[in-house]
Structure 1
Amino acid sequence: MASTLGSINPSSRERGWSRDGAVIAPASGRSDSAARPALASARPSAGGASGWRYSTQLNEQLSAAQCSRGFVDDMLSQLESFKSALSQQLSQRRLDADGLSAQRDELAQSWQRRQQDSLDSLDGQLRLSLGAPSRQRFTVRGLDLDSLTQGAPETLVFADGAGNPPAAVSVGEGAGRGEILRRLNQALGPAGIRCELDDHGRLGFSCGEQDWPALQASLTVRGGGVRFAGGVPQRLPLEAEAPALDAARWQVDDHAQVRMTLQDVLRAIARLQQTRGAIDHAIDEARQSIAQLSRVDEPSWADAFVSDFNARLNQRGDFAPLQQLVPALLGISRYRVLALLSLR
């Protein structure tokens, strides 16, 4: 499915970004979670026949949500153990710094497997994205709405270093905020970059998390001498959104550091617990939708499945479905298919 099942934002002060500047309310584990609308769109209509074309995507989303829950549960278990160890060490005169460091390093290693273990459904802020890969949010120093909408006109030329042609954006001279967003999205979209606003109206960007390292090292801009220098393109300073958990930075060498680390651990536990509640809600929604789809009559399902199968198989430039299909068809002859069809 093109839309995500939900977007989990653990903090009420950190609402999601919207491409058109509107604020996206944070999801939670309650019944009013943002997971509900996306799932509702996948449910069959009154006729029921069209619903089956979403069954494959729903099962994929359900699997991703279950993997995400497994990752969250593992992190919670490790954090609870680390919290107990930190609390115990605070009551002692001497610290077992080596033991605490070993636990911390294990936590950091587990966090590094987040993308893999969650099937790329949990981003660095533990927001859930089912149906689309997780994204990395970032800001760009020198690119803010005030400077882009006001001042002398200038043409900014962006290049991503990935083979896409350079994209020019006209800024300044009183251009509106919405117009600047539209121009940036149009120019940077081919590079997989979205231009968005946060809940304070500040300009922000996002890209696929797997694309972030290359983009961070290669995104450049050439200006006209107003906001950015002309001539040779210069690399843009990109600043990634801080992750929800950064165990590698936790210090445990003395009691003061242990106290600070304990506070960070408690915050991480609270965030993971909220994420788990929202994942559980999303899983329940997916199961309800799948149960509704299962009541569709078989001929309608077969027709919709064929259409869905053809659409997936004929995606341009994507050989992944074909790679999965060919091994499954090995050894299946035309005569076996005809024999099966004759049983109907």
Structure 2
Amino acid sequence: MQISSASTPPVIVPGANAGSNASAVDGTALGLNGENAATATPVTPTNNAAAPLRRGLSNWDQPLQGDISGAQQALDFLEQSAAQLRSLKSDLSTRLATRQRSDGALEARVRQFSNSWRSRTSASGGTLDSQLNFSTKGSNTSFTVRGLNLSNLRGGAREVIAVSIGGGQNVRSVVLEPGLSDEQIAQRFNDALAPAGVRAEISDDGQLTFSTAESQWANVRDTISLQGGGIRFPGGQLTRVKADAEAPQVDPDTWQTTDLESIRTTLAQVVQSLSKVEQSIASVRQALAQVAARVQSADPTATKGGMDQVAQNFVSTTKQPGYQSLLSITSALAGISRERVMSLLRLRS
């Protein structure tokens, strides 16, 4: 194969005077190298070429790509977990039906699932929390703080509550007054604690609950301190208080198989966990379908002319032997991973 000169060829700018020096612009000056090399050949103006050329996958909305990837990761993890739970359910049921006592094999199956479940956060890309709620914004841990319950906070005279999270000088003040509604109390805690990465809200059962990023939970749990004015909370120095995380929907570390009674209890827990996982699968599939609908509803007419021109330029460039041809091909393949291709193909299934 004949290798042509490595210098960047001149690019004819549409609309420029072909006879002037301004019409020939060095491709490097335009940034037409690397992944843009496919469009470095002269572009013939068309009716659709008024809009600037835009690149293919790189032109996708980045949050949209993240939503697709996150939903697919969560779905893969949940489906694998559901398969493990169904297998474990079958084993436990067989043991009870035949009244066989536990052995090392059954205990190993439980440990295997438990180890797999511990990877929930990383395996799902941080999109599934302990309640199996799916969110592309990251998983959170919900918790309550002992003493910070609405029945205690409603009554009493005006009081300033100092709350410290993270230690040091990270102290926030919450002013409580007679006559505040539950929502107002939650909002005041939310406003005060938001800079520390903690949100406050009223739960479905009417309790004051807090939440923080799952990655920050350990630090938050171990560093919450309160100080009052002697009305709802004692004055003096900040006092450590206990925070309790919401019980997880699936907790295989508590499953036991030492005897028939514990096997029966574990079977009930496995059945309940499988139901929760299947509900989460349905929820994630719905979210993935919504993302697919966003992809399908995207109007392709705005970029069709430009992309057709890019494709034509790419074909023309790669047909000619030389360095520019090799550069166009390798640039087109750069950054295309198996995961990205699989995520796109799943949208068509």
Partner of 1:157: 162
Shift of 1:276: 0.8
Partner of 1:112: 118
Shift of 1:179: 2.1
Aligned-partner Cα distance in 2 for 1:54–1:188: 36
**8 Å Cα contact 2:92-2:267 kept in structure 1:** yes
Select the residue among 258, 263, 280 that pairs with 1:253.
258
Aligned residues: 253
SS in 1 for 2:128: coil
Partner of 1:129: 135
Aligned-partner Cα distance in 1 for 2:182–2:140: 23
Where does the alignment leave 5 or more consecutive residues of structure 1 unmatched?
A: 1-51, 303-335
In the alignment, structure 1 residue 91 sits paired with structure 2 residue 97: yes
Name the aligned partner's letter for residue 156 of structure 2.
Answer: G
SS in 2 for 1:297: helix
Aligned-partner Cα distance in 1 for 2:305–2:197: 36
Name the aligned partner's letter for residue 235 of structure 2.
Answer: G
Partner of 1:207: 212
Partner of 1:187: 192
Aligned-partner Cα distance in 2 for 1:99–1:227: 54
Q: Which residues of 2 match residues 66-85 of structure 1 at below 5 A?
A: 66-85=72-91
Shift of 1:296: 5.3
Partner of 2:290: 285
Aligned-partner Cα distance in 1 for 2:184–2:86: 48
SS in 2 for 1:91: helix
Structure 1, residues 79-130: CA drift from partner, whole Å, max 9, x if none? 1111111011112343133222111111111111000011100000101112
Aligned-partner Cα distance in 2 for 1:294–1:97: 60
Name the aligned partner's letter for residue 258 of structure 1.
Answer: I
C-alpha distance 120-153 of structure 1, shift in aligned 2 (>3 A): same
Partner of 1:100: 106
Aligned-partner Cα distance in 1 for 2:189–2:59: 34
Structure 1, residues 246-305: CA drift from partner, whole Å, max 9, x if none? 111011111111111101101111111111111111111101101222525139999xxx
Shift of 1:224: 1.3
SS in 2 for 1:287: helix
Partner of 2:20: none
Aligned-partner Cα distance in 2 for 1:138–1:267: 22
Aligned-partner Cα distance in 2 for 1:93–1:261: 15
Which stretches of structure 1, 4 residues or longer, exceed 6 Å deviation after superposition?
299-302
- TM-score by length of structure 1 reads 0.69
Shift of 1:148: 1.4
Shift of 1:54: 7.7
Shift of 1:163: 5.7
Partner of 1:65: 71
Aligned-partner Cα distance in 1 for 2:99–2:284: 41
Aligned-partner Cα distance in 1 for 2:104–2:234: 50
Partner of 1:228: 233
Shift of 1:227: 1.9
Partner of 1:197: 202
C-alpha distance 296-229 of structure 1, shift in aligned 2 (>3 A): farther
Partner of 2:275: 270
**8 Å Cα contact 2:102-2:259 kept in structure 1:** no
**8 Å Cα contact 2:165-2:171 kept in structure 1:** yes
Name the aligned partner's letter for residue 147 of structure 1.
Answer: N
C-alpha distance 285-60 of structure 1, shift in aligned 2 (>3 A): same
C-alpha distance 163-284 of structure 1, shift in aligned 2 (>3 A): farther
Partner of 2:19: none
**8 Å Cα contact 1:164-1:191 kept in structure 2:** no
Aligned-partner Cα distance in 1 for 2:187–2:279: 34
Aligned-partner Cα distance in 1 for 2:119–2:213: 16
Aligned-partner Cα distance in 1 for 2:220–2:127: 20
Please tell me the root mean square deviation across aligned C-alpha atoms, in Å.
2.5
Give 1 or 2 for the bigger CA radius of gyration. Answer: 2
SS in 2 for 1:100: helix
Name the aligned partner's letter for residue 81 of structure 1.
Answer: S
SS in 2 for 1:262: helix
Aligned-partner Cα distance in 1 for 2:119–2:100: 33
